[in-house]
Amino acid sequence: MNLTLQNKFDIILHALEIIGSYETCDCGCPQKRQGRVAGTPAQVWAIANEALRNIGHEIKVYDEKSSNY
């Protein structure tokens, strides 16, 4: 599978749209919208993780003992 930059962009954009979109609300705020939380934290992680894997990105393993992030 050889993805172009455009393909990768589309995959990442799709994931970001899911986890960074709005939903309408009726709480009285001026824009009538609020952040749409896409499921549990684990589900949000899975969406991002899948997108990173789908573009062939080498996913970082954070090490709390080091400061390389």
Judged by the rule CB under 5 A, the positions of this chain that interact with Zn ion are 25, 27, 29
**In the numeric block, which tokens belong to residue 28?**
């009285």
The distance of closest approach from Cβ of residue 45 to Zn ion in the complex, given in angstroms and rounded to an integer, is 26
**In the numeric block, which tokens belong to residue 5?**
């930059």
Q: For residue 34, what is the enclosing H or E element?
A: strand 33-35
Q: Which is nearer to Zn ion, 13 or 25 (CB)?
A: 25
C-alpha 69/C-alpha 60 separation (Å) is 9
The distance of closest approach from Cβ of residue 44 to Zn ion in the complex, given in angstroms and rounded to an integer, is 21
Q: Which is nearer to Zn ion, 25 or 37 (CB)?
A: 25
